[in-house]
Amino acid sequence: MTLATSTVFAKPAEVRGDWFLIDAAGKTLGRLASQIAHHLKGKHKVDYSPHVDMGDHIVVVNAEKIRVTGRKLSDKIYYWHTQHIGGIKQIALDKLLKEHPERVIEFAVKGMLPKNPLGRRQYKKLHVFAGDKHPHSAQQPKSLEIQE
């Protein structure tokens, strides 16, 4: 007699996304980004299914107070192309932190998510703000502690 086992997958209609608030002050960029990506994918949930958007909404505040190790402030360069001939652009991490500090966390997390429609849907659940104010207080986000 053989027992039939079946894998149980979560259904998109049954998935409930919570709201979490993370204070990025003094946190290391890479460690913070990997744990944010983990929560955006929903891998912390017991009934995780890789093909379903199970992630939570993450609100990150104090993005300008992020910490990096080594000489990354001057050595880490972000590149992009304008789609015109000779249109390669670049910006160093320290200058990007001064001009648009929320983009540093967004770029780091986006690189850790899947490169497909599911990953783009998960990325939309990330809300990063430079200061300690955010417009999502109506959702009553719970505080989420990130390990260093």
Task: Assess if residue 1 is contained within a domain.
Answer: no
Question: Taking a C-beta distance cutoff of 8 angstroms, is the pair 61, 133 a contact?
Answer: yes
Task: Assess if residue 90 is contained within a domain.
Answer: no
Task: Assess if residue 33 is contained within a domain.
Answer: yes
Model's pTM, two decimal places?
0.92
Q: Which domain holds residue 115?
A: 17-69+99-143
Task: Assess if residue 117 is contained within a domain.
Answer: yes
Task: Assess if residue 105 is contained within a domain.
Answer: yes
Give tens-digit pLDDT for 13-59: 989 889 999 999 999 999 999 999 999 999 999 999 999 999 999 99
Burial class from Cβ neighbours inside 10 Å (0-12, 13-18, 19+) for residue 73 reads middle
Question: Taking a C-beta distance cutoff of 8 angstroms, is the pair 141, 17 a contact?
Answer: no
Q: How far apart are CA 148 and CA 117, in angstroms?
A: 31
Task: Assess if residue 120 is contained within a domain.
Answer: yes
Task: Assess if residue 83 is contained within a domain.
Answer: no
Give tens-digit pLDDT for 56-72: 999 999 999 999 999 99
Structure tokens at 8: 């149980």
Specify the number of domains making up the chain.
Answer: 1
Task: Assess if residue 75 is contained within a domain.
Answer: no
Q: How far apart are CA 5 and CA 133, in angstroms?
A: 49
| Single-letter residue type at 15 | V
21: domain CATH number?
3.90.1180.10
